[in-house]
Amino acid sequence: MPTFEYAPAPESRAVVDIASSHGLFIGGEFVEATGGKPFKTVNPATEEVLSEVSEATADDVDAAVRAARSAYTRVWSRMSGADRGKYLYRIARILQERAREFAVLETLDNGKPIKESRDVDIPLVAAHFFYHAGWADKLGYAALGENPRPLGVVGQVIPWNFPLLMLAWKVAPALACGNTVVLKPAETTPLTALLFAEVCQQAELPPGVVNIVTGAGATGQAIVDHPGIDKLAFTGSTNVGKMIARSIAGTRKKATLELGGKGANIIFDDAPVDQAVEGIVNGIFFNQGHVCCAGSRILVQENVADEVVRRLKRRLTTLRVGDPMDKNTDVGAINSRAQLTRIEELTAAGAAEGAERWDSGCELPGTGFWFRPTVFTDVSQSHRIAQEEIFGPVVSVLTFRTPGEAVAKANNTPYGLSAGIWTEKGSRILWMADQLRAGVVWANTFNKFDPTSPFGGYKESGYGREGGRHGLEAYVKTGGDQ
């Protein structure tokens, strides 16, 4: 019997040189933190310590906000849009030049497969800067209202699932609109943000326009609470999003929140079935399922449910789980032990509640944090695995009989971020798209992102949009706004 085993094809990590410790990036320079407790960031695939990172204290955050304010009033808000744009173009180009380095570093720190950081994350990062660079001198044409003006200093707190991409989603529009930023990367994935600081230096971005402070929840809270912050942009869990909304209640701080989701990927009996199966795989196993807009609930029409599940399982046996640095790896490491524990707990609950559990049975490495691609069938709306965001490579399959039932089940969640529709019938797509309460609807595709395309949720998936013309609205004030 012939076998086609793929020999290891590891990407070289020689392109990155990780310093053993990192300071904070404030006012255009790397500085020591003023006394927080440094923390270690590890490679989740090996548990190897990659570097020690500073914990920014409230004083450090204050220094960063002051640096940002100074850069805002003295330089950045006074600069012409054309010149701001040119800095962003510079950053975009440097990111392209150093793409391999960023991809490798992202994979080491995050655990995502190198093919995703190389082919998805980093190219999209550069694209975001390129797109927003062009807006900087055209804001008056963006239909934002009369006389669009920057807000001031923006505090940005980003998650660990797409570390550099989330940075780009936040920083590029903020800078294009004339704001300056204080950004906190996630504590488990700070390294690409710190490397981005070097890009800012290479681009000779005026000091203080971008400030990067590392730390965990307390550092984030210090940013949220700082009176010098005019606007907050956060991507992360709905619970933290609510805490931020409460923190800024009664203040004049604005906020955009990109939060959790429990996206329904709806498969009709006339779907292009091979592409639909790929869509399911891409919807939930892309980036280990660490995707807020993941299609974590499959709603499949009852008359094709067995067939679709059979095809899905067969497909999952070809998914290659393992070393994220291997160019052939499809599913990498779970980002942290804490996240792995949460996935294990929720899947255990799913099995205990009576859903049928299946996994691909693939071998997993001995060290690091891993979870096999897992499918739950016989799932009901009331199961925890159908309600709570698992944020891992776990999909729940539910069935429906009619389009109306599919809509009702898809919408029956406090979230409203994404949804998928698979059918060859055009009018049904448009009808479904109208009914679904979700900010992004992918029809006959899934998990597609583009800097020109607004992204964001309904209901408890947050508010505000990122990307496209709409994303600019969150970073300007207009008319008589103070």
Partner 1 sequence: MTGLASRSRPEVPAPGSVGPPRRPYTLGVSTATDLDPTARARDILGVSRLTNSALTGWLHGLPGVDQVGCEARAAALSTRSIKTTSKAWAIDTAISMIDLTTLEGADTPGKVRGLATRALVPDPSDLSTPSPAAVCVYGDMVPFAREVIGDRGVNIAAVATAFPSGRASRAVKLADTRDAVENGADEIDMVIDRGAFLAGDYLSVFREIAETKEACGDARLKVIMETGELVTYDNVRRASWLSMLAGGDFIKTSTGKISPAATLPVTLVMLEAVRDWRDATGEMVGVKPAGGIRTSKDAIKFLVTVSEVAGEDWLTNEWFRFGASSLLNDLVLQRQKMTTGAYSGADYVADDAPSGY
Partner 2 sequence: MSARVDVRKTYKLYIGGKFPRSESGRSYEVMAAPSGRRATPRFLANAAMGSRKDARDAVVAARKAQPGWAGATAYNRGQVLYRVAEVMEGRRAQLVQDVRDSEGLTPARAEAVVSAAIDRWVWYAGWSDKYAQVLGGLNPVAGPYFDISAPEPTGVVAVLAPQASSLLGLVSVVAPVVVSGNTCVVLASEDRPLPAIDLAECLATSDVPGGVVNVVTGRTAEVAPWLASHRDVNAIDLTGAAGADGVEWGDLELAAADNLKRVLRPGGSGTEAVEPDFEATPDLGRMTAFLETKTVWHPKGR
Site of interaction with partner 2 (CB under 8 A):
127, 143, 145-146, 238, 241-242, 245-246, 249-252, 257, 259, 414, 429, 433, 438-445, 448, 450, 452-456, 458-460, 462-463, 465, 468-470, 473, 478-480, 482
Binders in 85-104 for partner 1, by CB under 8 A: none
Residue placing its CB nearer to partner 2 in the complex, 326 or 473: 473
Instruction: Clarify whether 200 is annotated catalytic.
Output: no
Which of 313, 357, 469, 470 contacts partner 1 by CB under 8 A? 313
# chain residues binding partner 1, by CB under 8 A: 32
By CB under 8 A, is residue 344 in contact with partner 1? no
By CB under 8 A, is residue 314 in contact with partner 1? yes
Binding segment for partner 1 (CB under 8 A), chosen from 6-14, 91-99, 193-201, 409-417, is 6-14
Handedness of CA 220, 225, 228, 230 (dihedral sign): positive
Q: How far is the CB of 258 from partner 2 (least distance, A)?
A: 11
By CB under 8 A, is residue 2 in contact with partner 1? yes
By CB under 8 A, is residue 303 in contact with partner 1? no
Amino acid (1-letter code) at residue 210: V
Binding segment for partner 1 (CB under 8 A), chosen from 33-41, 67-75, 98-106, 310-318, is 310-318
Range 405-410 contact pairs with CB under 8 angstroms and sequence separation of 24 or more: 406/264, 406/266, 406/268, 406/299, 406/301, 406/432, 407/432, 407/435, 407/436, 409/264, 409/299, 409/381, 410/264, 410/266, 410/297, 410/299, 410/436, 410/438
Q: How far is the CB of 422 from partner 1 (least distance, A)?
A: 9
Q: How far is the CB of 119 from partner 1 (least distance, A)?
A: 7
Binders in 387-426 for partner 1, by CB under 8 A: 424
Alpha helices (H) along 177-304: 191-202, 217-225, 238-247, 273-285
Amino acid (1-letter code) at residue 329: T
Residue placing its CB nearer to partner 2 in the complex, 383 or 459: 459
Q: How far is the CB of 235 from partner 2 (least distance, A)?
A: 14
Q: Which does 1 bind (CB under 5 to 8 A by kind): partner 2, partner 1, none?
A: partner 1
Of 395, 438, 408, which Cα lies nearest the Cα of 284? Answer: 395
By CB under 8 A, is residue 49 in contact with partner 1? no
How many CA atoms, within 13 angstroms, populate the side-chain half-sphere of residue 237? 10
- Radius of gyration from C-alpha coordinates of the chain: 22
Q: Which does 234 bind (CB under 5 to 8 A by kind): partner 2, partner 1, none?
A: none
477 CB-near residues (< 8 Å, 6+ apart): 148, 149, 150, 151
Q: SS3 for 96?
A: helix
CB 260 within 8 A of CB 234: no
Q: Which does 318 bind (CB under 5 to 8 A by kind): partner 1, partner 2, none?
A: partner 1
**Integer CA distances (angstroms), 92 to 100, 122, 323, in order:** 14, 10, 29
**Integer CA distances (angstroms), 243 to 226, 240, 246, 403, in order:** 15, 5, 5, 36
Which of 237, 247, 275, 453 contacts partner 1 by CB under 8 A? 275
Of 253, 295, 241, which Cα lies nearest the Cα of 445? Answer: 295
Q: Which does 238 bind (CB under 5 to 8 A by kind): partner 1, partner 2, none?
A: partner 2
Which listed residue (11, 55, 258, 460) is catalytic?
A: 258
Residue placing its CB nearer to partner 2 in the complex, 40 or 246: 246
208 CB-near residues (< 8 Å, 6+ apart): 26, 27, 28, 67, 68, 70, 71, 72, 75, 180
366 CB-near residues (< 8 Å, 6+ apart): none
Residue placing its CB nearer to partner 2 in the complex, 50 or 126: 126
Which of 309, 325, 379, 406 contacts partner 1 by CB under 8 A? 309
Q: How far is the CB of 123 from partner 2 (least distance, A)?
A: 9
Amino acid (1-letter code) at residue 55: E
Structure token digits, residue 421: 């529709």
By CB under 8 A, is residue 274 in contact with partner 1? yes
Q: Which does 273 bind (CB under 5 to 8 A by kind): partner 2, partner 1, none?
A: partner 1
How many CA atoms, within 13 angstroms, populate the side-chain half-sphere of residue 65? 23
Instruction: Clarify whether 362 is annotated catalytic.
Output: no
Which listed residue (11, 292, 389, 460) is catalytic?
A: 292
Q: Which does 428 bind (CB under 5 to 8 A by kind): partner 1, partner 2, none?
A: none
Binding segment for partner 1 (CB under 8 A), chosen from 91-99, 176-184, 309-317, 379-387, is 309-317
Binders in 436-455 for partner 1, by CB under 8 A: 444-445
Handedness of CA 247, 250, 255, 258 (dihedral sign): positive
Of 132, 116, 137, which Cα lies nearest the Cα of 181? Answer: 132
Identify the H or E element spanning 394: strand 394-400
- Enzyme catalytic residues: 258, 292
Residues in touch with partner 1 (CB under 8 A): 1-9, 115, 119, 270-275, 278-279, 306, 309-311, 313-314, 317-318, 327-328, 424, 444-445
